[in-house]
Amino acid sequence: MTSTAPRTVIQPDGAAKPRDVGLSDKELIHAYRTMLRVRAFDETCLKLQRSGRIGFSIPNRGVEATQVGAAAALKKTDWLFPSYRDFGMALYHGISAEAMMHNMYGDALDSAKGRQMPVHFSFTDPIRFFSISSPIGTHIVQAVGAAYAMQYRKEKHVVLASFGDGGTSSLGFHSGLNFAGVWKAPVIFLCQNNQWAISCPSEKQTASDGYAVKAEAYGMPGVLVDGNDLLAVHQAVSEAAERARKGGGPTLIEARTFRMGGHSTSDDPTKYVPKAMVAEWEKKDPVARFEKFLKKRKLWTEKQREQWYAEAMAEVDAASKAAQATPRPALETIFSDVYATLPAHLRRQGQQAFDIAKRHGEAEAGDGAFPL
Amino acid sequence: MATLTLIQAVNDALRTAMKNDPNVLVFGEDVGPKGGVFLATEGLTKEFGEKRCFDTPLSEDGIVGAAIGMAVNGLKPVAEIQFQDFIFPAFDQIVSEAAKLRYRSGGQYTCPMVIRTPYGGGIRGGLYHSQSGEAYFCHTPGLKVVVPSTPHDAKGLLLASIQDPDPVLFLEPKALYRSVKGEVPEGNYTVDLSTLRTVREGKDVTVICYGAMVPVCERAAARAAERGIECHIVDLRTLYPLDEDGVLEAAKRTGRVVVVHEAPRFCGYGGEISALIAENIIEYIEAPIARVTGFDTPFPNTLEHHYMPDERRVLDAIEHVAAY
């Protein structure tokens, strides 16, 4: 791939260069524990999927430092237009594992009311974590519109749009970067180059020398960063955010990383990812790398890790139990939220669905709320 | 009250909305200083500044996608797609994004926005400046589809669409832009969405139409009247969600129905109207429901007058169902 070396902060011996990494000890530990929580969430979801309790999940292993490093550079007043592989961004900003687990189960407490597949999160609090769509790249240009609104109101907020290497081939990538360049919109485009778009490697995605270089054609800076180096990602996103807040416009950041798992729980990456590649990236594990840095700063011990990981597993386990105990959404949720107010034809169809369910003894408590 | 053309009424509606609400923005290709290729946005950049009425890069996907982001974050975008024929790069953004956002986010994120676009034939625009794509969009829960046919309704429906909490596709019959004139109230007023308008009362045949076909049907009805057939014409105004009760009521009045649109017939909007009537009030129906539509071909250029339903074809259908 690219001839330029990606930017790094954490050195092979664990030292940070520069020494001032722009995060307090408290924030560093929070970032680290967030990565552990992503791993705990991932592992739990894999088990839940394999045992048939949830239908689907998206593994995050390998890309946690990119997610968390980027999230740590943002404020609660900024907006995230995430991809489906961004669990760490949500968890870092205080979205609870339980809220996420309700989505995995699609239950009555799911913020999306069980309408979407698992991992298609949507949250507004404590940060705007925009509703995730399955089609690739559509949110990239929407992020630019949201940023235009900030610019229009003269706010100092920014929008971060996150997508993968495959996303750079989409219509939304081109129109998004093009519009943002012309408007000088306060957006950070974070391309998480995990090297695989399901089974398609980067060389099938682009003939260019990596993805960061694409920025030039849109009139914005492009930065190539080591995506397994949490501090390097944080530094690059912080710089981009600062420039955007000052009216300096958008930035494209390519975070070079690697998806250690499959695209999803329905995918078997051993069929297409070369074993040597996995072994090579195993050595670059982003969590282990951050531990080395924390250890050097005397913020980490093996024992402490065990305790934090156990706490993360307990949190996710409790979340899963809570979701499992939650009933499915009421029948009326099929028909509500199509429009702000229920049109007559949907009222009729909803009544019909309720009558059929009732006749077959399938109506449950709560379904009787229909007609709205 | 001023007498305006339909395009002037659109311009008046945009100006009124922008005056009333600083969050209303108008943008698209050539809509800025030039005022749009049909001049719908003439004078708005000058009056409201280039932050509120502006040109965008030439990308329909970008225009609609950015509009969604603006709407999600508190603005009221009114995006123009220069011709409805060019809307398809934005189909994904309209159908999979704007229309589904409220639903898929459990109501946490919404995008109240309007996409205005001129549709239909009659200007010798050939395949790509003449299409009527309403059926594609009426198949999309979460989207509203509105089509005015008079200057009064163009302004009132556009203002209602801008104030609506859901995304609206506003199809403007370009053939009527300058060919119809009518009285338009000054200032802010709205025409309720999902309500049809009775254009003409009659006891013999019900003619159901919208947009550019409304004046065609009126002319056909005038000729039918000369032959002793009184038509009851309704202008649907909002295609989706439809005023179903209004349609059924109008069909019951005569028991004989002609549906007219210029889009192709197969899976066209008229099929849905026919099915609605047949499913609900077949006992009132005295004759087969007739559809007068464009042909199931791409839209031709030189021979467009043969393609588009005209008063002769509509009259034939009226006479046929009246005599059945």
Does B310 share its domain with B219? yes
The confidence score (pLDDT) of residue A2 equals 53
* Inter-residue long-range contacts of B30-34, CB under 8 Å, 24+ positions, other chains counted: B30/B55, B30/B82, B31/B55, B31/B80
The confidence score (pLDDT) of residue A371 equals 44
Q: What is the total count of domains within chain B?
A: 2
Is position B189 within any domain? no
Whether A370 has a pLDDT exceeding 90, the answer reads no
Mean pLDDT throughout A96-123?
97
Mutate to test the interface with B, among A103, A117, A141, A169 (most CBs of B within 10 A): A141
pLDDT level of residue A361 (50, 70, 90 thresholds): confident
Domain-terminating residue out of B184, B208, B236: B184
Does B146 share its domain with B26? yes
A345 contacts B106? CB cut-off 8 A:
no
Mean pLDDT throughout A75-98?
97
For the stretch A29-39, pLDDT in tens is 999 999 999 99
Does B219 share its domain with B180? no
Is position B191 within any domain? no
CA dihedral A180, A185, A191, A197 (to 10 degrees): -50
Does B129 share its domain with B219? no
Q: Which residue has the higher pLDDT, B60 or A360?
A: B60
Name residue, tokens 């870092």. A92
Q: What is the DSSP string of B29-84?
A: TT-STT--TT-TTTTHHHHH-TTTEEE--S-HHHHHHHHHHHHHTT-EEEEE-SSG
Angle, CA of A239, A245 and A250, to the nearest 5°: 65
Q: Which residue of A has its CA nearest to B57?
A: A179
Select from A175, A176, A338 the Cβ nearest to the Cβ of B141.
A338
Note whether A121 and A100 are within 8 A (CB): yes
Select from A133, A172, A344 the Cβ nearest to the Cβ of B244.
A344
* Residue B170 bridge partners (DSSP): B116, B146
pLDDT level of residue A18 (50, 70, 90 thresholds): very high
Q: Which residue of B has its CA nearest to A125?
A: B108
Note whether B92 and A135 are within 8 A (CB): yes
The confidence score (pLDDT) of residue A362 equals 81
Phi, psi (5° rounding) for residue B203? -110, -10
For the stretch B209-220, pLDDT in tens is 999 999 999 999
Whether A231 has a pLDDT exceeding 70, the answer reads yes
Does B202 share its domain with B152? no
Q: What is the DSSP string of B256-323?
A: -EEEEEEEESTT-HHHHHHHHHHHHHGGG--SPPEEEEE-SSPPPSTTHHHHS--HHHHHHHHHHHHH
Rounded to the nearest 10 degrees, what angle do helices A64-71 and A230-245 cross at?
Answer: 30
Q: Is the preceding peptide bond at A18 cis, omega within 30 degrees of 0? A: yes
Cα A362 to Cα A113, A125, A353: the distances in Å are 19, 34, 11
Note whether B120 and A165 are within 8 A (CB): no
Domain-terminating residue out of B184, B213, B241: B184
Is position B192 within any domain? no
Name residue, tokens 């509105």. B146
Is position B287 within any domain? yes
Tell me the percentage of chain A whose pLDDT exceeds 70.
97
B245 contacts A344? CB cut-off 8 A:
yes
For the stretch B277-312, pLDDT in tens is 999 999 999 999 999 999 999 999 999 999 999 999
Candidate from A159-173, A220-234, A262-276, B66-80 with smallest mean pLDDT = A262-276
- Distance between A222 CA and the closest CA of chain B, angstroms: 21
Specify the CATH number for the domain of residue B257. Answer: 3.40.50.920
Does B208 share its domain with B105? no
Specify the CATH number for the domain of residue B122. Answer: 3.40.50.970
For the stretch A180-228, pLDDT in tens is 999 999 999 999 999 999 999 999 999 999 999 999 999 999 999 999 9
The confidence score (pLDDT) of residue B235 equals 99
Select from B72, B104, B108 the Cβ nearest to the Cβ of A146.
B72
Select from A81, A135, A182 the Cβ nearest to the Cβ of B57.
A182
Does B31 share its domain with B133? yes
Note whether A26 and A307 are within 8 A (CB): no
Sequence-distant (6+) residues with CB within 8 A of B267 are B135
Note whether A100 and A324 are within 8 A (CB): no
pLDDT level of residue A363 (50, 70, 90 thresholds): confident
Domains and their CATH numbers in chain A: 25-324 (3.40.50.970), 331-369 (no CATH)
- Distance between B61 CA and the closest CA of chain A, angstroms: 7
Tell me the residue range of the domain where B268 lies.
Answer: 197-323
Predicted interface score ipTM higher than 0.90: yes
Does B152 share its domain with B44? yes
Catalytic residues of A, by residue number, are: 259, 263, 272
Does B105 share its domain with B154? yes
Is position B288 within any domain? yes
Alpha carbon A220 to its chain's center: 23
Interface check for B245 against chain A (CB to CB < 8 A): the answer is: yes
Domain-terminating residue out of B149, B184, B219: B184
Does B229 share its domain with B101? no
Interface check for B22 against chain A (CB to CB < 8 A): the answer is: no
Tell me if residue B240 falls in helix, strand or coil.
strand
pLDDT level of residue A365 (50, 70, 90 thresholds): low
Note whether B56 and A179 are within 8 A (CB): yes
Regions of chain B where pLDDT drops below 50: none
pLDDT level of residue A372 (50, 70, 90 thresholds): very low
Does B20 share its domain with B98? yes
B166 contacts A146? CB cut-off 8 A:
no
Tell me if residue B149 falls in helix, strand or coil.
coil
**DSSP, res A270:** G
